[in-house]
C-alpha cells in the first residue's frame, strides 16, 4: 500500500509593519518592532521555500514558532485594549491571492501555516519510505511514490494503458495447499539480478541487501518478498519514519482543531463586539434581532475559504486519515516480513515447526488491516462532505478536491486487496479473486482518470500488484480448487465497517511574549495556564 498525503502549497505574505496600524505605545514599542521583524523572517522563509527545489520545512517551522508568541501578544494586546488600532490591519497573501483586514485573520493564517508545514513534513517522511523500498527492490524508473503492499509478483498481464508484460510467478502468505498448488503459484526459479523478459518490471529482481535473505530470495516467490531486500537497519529506519510521519499528522490535526475550536470562535466574538460598538456609536442598535451588519460579519461564507470552519475541519479529517494510513502501512510491512511463505525450487512450501505456514505467528491479520484502511476511507468521505458544504466550492482548488474524492476510491480498493489476501490465506480462492478483481478495476480507473498526480501514479503501481495476484489466484483456482467467484454485489455487502486507530495530539498554544497576557498566564486566544506552553528553545519537541 502507498500512502498518498496531499502536498500543500505554502502561501507567501506581503510585507507588513505593525507600527503603521497601531497607535504609538512606548511601553510595547520594542515588542511591536520584534513582531514586525519576526514576521519578516517568516515571509523570507516562505519565499525561499517557494522559489527553491529543496524545501526546508524545519526552517519555516522555526520561523513560525519564533513569530507565534509575538503575534499572540499583539492579538491579546488589541483585545485587552493595551494596544489601540489606528485602522484595521490589512493583510494579503499569494497562492492564492487573499486580502483580509483583521489581526485575528493574521493569527489564524499563521497557525494554519504551521499545520500545513507539519503535514508536508509528514509527507516527506512517508515518501522517503516509499523511495527506500523501491530503491531496494530496483524499481525506481518511474518513481513518484508507492511501493505496493508486499506482493512479489512482477510485471505480468495487461497494464492500465493497454500494454502487456510477460507472465511472472506469484505467491501469497497463508497458502498451505499441496505441492501441485505450490507449483501453480510458481513459474519457475527466478534469477536475482535479471531484468526479466519482454515488458516485465524490475520488481524483486535485485540482489538482496540482506545477506541472510539473499539465498532463499533468489529462487522463491513470496508475498512481501521486498522485505528480503531490506536489512534490519532498513526495517528499523522505515519503522521510525512511519512512526514519525503518523505523529506529525496527528500534531497537524491538533493544530487544525485548535484553530476550529479556539481561534475561529474568538474571531467571531471579536467581530460581533466590533459590529455592535459601531452600531451603538451610530445609534442604530436597540432591536432584538441581530442587524444585517452583524449577520454579515459573522457569516463564514463571506470569509476566505481557508479560514472557514468546514474546510479546517476537513483538514483535521485528512490529517487523521493519513496518520492511520501510516500506522497500517507499518503493520503491513511487518506482516509481509512475518508471513512470507517460501516456495522451494522443488515446489514444496516451507512450514513452521508447528506445521503451519512459515512466519504466520506474529503478524497483524489482514481483516484488521482492512478495517483500519476502511476507517481511512471513511475519514476521506467525511472530509469530502465537509468540502462540499462550502457555499462557493470553486474557491477550493480543483486539484485538492480531486485528491480527496479519488483518495476515497483508492483506499477502498486497498482495503479490498487486504480482504482478498485474507480470503486467500483462508483458502477461499473464489472470494480472493473477486476482491482482487474489484480492486484491480478501481486502480485501473484511477491510474487513467485521476487528476491527482500522486494518486494516479500510486494506483498504477497498485494495479500491477493486484493484477498479478488475480492471475496467480486464478491459476490455482482453475487447476486445483475450482471455486465459484462471488459477484461484486455479494462481496461489497460483506465488507466490514472501518475502525479508528489514532487521535489528534492537542496543540498547546505558546504564551504571549509580552503584555498583561504574558504575565497573567493567558494565551493569545484566551486560554488558561493549563493550555499554554512557553517554549524554552526553538523547535522544542520537533526532533525525533
What string of pLDDT tens digits covers the 544 residues of the chain? 778 999 998 988 888 999 999 999 999 999 999 999 999 999 999 999 988 888 899 999 999 999 999 999 999 999 999 999 998 887 777 656 677 778 999 999 999 999 999 999 999 999 999 888 777 766 544 444 433 333 222 333 344 554 443 333 333 333 333 333 344 344 333 333 333 333 333 333 333 444 444 433 333 333 345 667 778 888 899 999 999 999 999 999 999 999 999 999 999 888 888 777 766 766 655 555 555 555 555 677 778 899 999 999 999 999 999 999 999 999 988 877 775 534 333 344 444 333 334 444 457 899 999 999 999 999 999 999 999 999 888 889 999 999 999 999 999 999 999 999 999 999 999 999 999 999 999 999 999 999 888 899 889 889 988 999 999 999 999 999 999 999 999 999 999 999 988 999 999 999 999 998 888 754 444 444 444 455 444 555 554 4
pLDDT of res. 339:
57
Burial of 278 (0-12, 13-18, 19+ CB in 10 A): middle
Sign of the torsion angle spanned by Cα atoms 302, 303, 305, 311:
negative
254 closest CA partner among 312, 201, 297: 312
pLDDT, position 285: 52
Secondary structure of residue 183 in the 3-state scheme? helix
Q: In degrees, to the nearest 5, what angle opens at C-alpha 300 toward C-alphas 83 and 43?
A: 55
User: pTM above 0.85?
Assistant: no
For residue 55, the number of C-alpha atoms closer than 13 Å in the C-beta half-sphere is: 14
Write the CA distances from 5 to 245, 315, 417, 477, integer angstroms: 10, 11, 20, 37
What pLDDT is stored for residue 277 in this prediction? 74
* pLDDT value for 303: 85
Whole-number pLDDT of residue 156: 35
Q: Given its phi and psi angles, is residue 390 left (phi above 0), alpha (psi -120 to 50 degrees) or beta?
A: beta
pLDDT of residue 270: 85
> In degrees to the nearest 10, what's the CA dihedral of 329, 331, 333, 338?
-160
**C-alpha pair distances (Å), 266 with each of 270, 298, 525:** 6, 11, 7
Counts for the chain of helices (H) and strands (E), in that order: 15, 5
Sign, CA torsion 282/288/291/294: positive
Say how many Å lie between the first and final Cα of the chain, rounded.
Answer: 25
Residues 6+ apart with CB under 8 A from 368: 499
Amino acid at each position: 500500500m502507498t500512502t498518498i498525503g496531499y502536498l500543500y502549497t505554502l502561501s507567501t505574505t506581503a510585507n507588513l509593519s505593525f507600527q503603521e496600524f497601531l497607535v504609538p505605545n512606548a511601553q510595547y514599542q520594542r515588542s511591536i518592532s520584534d513582531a514586525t521583524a519576526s514576521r519578516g523572517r517568516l515571509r523570507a522563509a516562505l519565499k525561499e521555500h517557494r522559489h527553491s527545489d529543496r524545501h526546508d520545512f524545519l526552517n519555516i517551522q522555526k520561523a513560525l514558532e519564533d513569530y507565534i508568541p509575538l503575534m499572540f501578544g499583539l492579538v491579546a494586546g488589541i483585545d485587552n485594549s493595551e494596544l489601540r488600532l489606528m485602522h484595521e490591519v490589512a493583510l494579503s497573501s499569494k497562492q492564492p491571492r487573499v486580502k483580509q483586514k483583521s489581526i485575528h485573520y493574521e493569527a489564524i493564517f499563521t497557525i494554519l501555516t504551521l499545520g500545513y508545514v507539519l503535514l508536508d513534513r509528514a509527507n516527506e517522511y512517508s515518501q522517503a519510505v516509499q523511495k527506500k523500498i523501491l530503491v531496494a527492490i530496483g524499481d525506481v524508473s518511474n518513481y513518484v511514490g508507492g511501493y505496493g503492499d508486499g506482493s512479489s509478483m512482477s510485471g505480468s498481464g495487461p497494464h492500465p494503458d493497454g500494454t502487456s508484460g510477460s507472465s511472472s510467478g506469484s505467491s501469497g502468505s497463508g497458502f498451505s495447499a499441496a505441492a501441485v498448488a505450490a507449483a501453480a503459484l510458481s513459474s519457475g526459479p527466478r534469477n536475482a539480478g535479471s531484468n526479466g523478459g519482454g515488458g516485465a518490471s524490475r520488481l524483486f529482481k535485485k540482489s538482496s541487501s540482506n545477506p541472510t535473505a539473499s539465498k532463499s530470495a533468489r529462487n522463491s516467490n513470496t508475498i512481501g518478498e521486498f522485505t528480503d531486500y531490506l536489512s534490519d537497519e532498513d526495517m528499523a529506519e522505515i519503522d521510525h519514519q512511519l512512526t514519525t510521519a503518523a505523529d506529525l499528522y496527528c500534531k497537524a490535526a491538533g493544530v487544525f482543531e485548535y484553530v476550529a475550536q479556539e481561534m475561529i470562535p474568538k474571531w467571531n466574538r471579536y467581530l460581533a463586539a466590533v459590529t455592535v460598538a459601531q452600531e451603538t456609536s451610530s445609534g442604530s442598535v436597540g432591536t432584538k434581532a441581530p442587524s444585517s451588519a452583524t449577520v454579515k460579519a459573522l457569516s463564514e461564507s463571506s470569509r476566505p475559504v481557508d479560514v472557514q470552519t468546514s474546510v479546517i475541519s476537513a483538514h483535521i479529517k485528512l490529517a487523521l486519515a493519513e496518520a492511520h494510513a501510516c500506522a497500517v502501512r507499518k503493520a503491513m510491512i511487518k506482516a509481509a516480513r512475518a508471513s512470507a511463505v517460501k516456495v522451494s525450487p522443488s515446489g514444496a512450501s516451507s512450514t513452521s515447526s508447528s506445521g503451519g505456514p512459515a512466519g504466520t505467528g506474529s503478524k497483524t491479520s489482514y481483516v484488521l488491516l482492512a478495517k483500519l484502511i476502511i476507517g481511512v476511507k471513511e475519514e476521506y468521505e467525511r472530509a469530502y462532505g465537509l468540502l462540499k458544504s462550502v457555499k462557493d466550492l470553486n474557491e477550493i482548488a480543483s486539484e485538492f478536491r480531486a485528491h480527496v474524492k479519488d483518495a476515497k476510491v483508492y483506499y477502498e480498493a486497498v482495503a479490498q486487496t487486504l480482504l482478498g489476501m485474507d480470503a486467500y490465506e483462508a483458502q477461499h480462492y473464489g472470494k480472493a479473486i473477486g476482491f482482487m478483481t474489484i480492486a484491480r478495476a478501481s486502480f485501473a480507473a484511477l491510474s487513467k482518470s485521476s487528476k491527482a498526480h500522486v494518486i494516479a501514479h500510486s494506483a498504477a503501481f497498485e494495479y500491477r500488484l493486484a493484477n498479478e495476484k488475480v492471475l496467480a489466484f486464478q491459476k490455482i483456482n482453475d487447476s486445483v480448487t475450482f471455486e465459484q467467484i462471488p459477484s461484486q454485489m455479494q462481496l461489497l455487502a460483506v465488507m466490514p465497517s472501518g475502525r479508528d486507530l489514532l487521535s489528534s495530539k492537542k496543540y498547546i498554544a505558546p504564551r504571549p511574549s509580552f503584555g498583561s497576557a504574558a504575565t497573567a498566564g493567558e494565551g493569545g486566544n484566551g486560554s488558561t495556564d493549563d493550555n499554554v506552553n512557553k517554549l524554552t528553545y526553538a523547535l522544542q519537541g520537533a526532533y525525533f
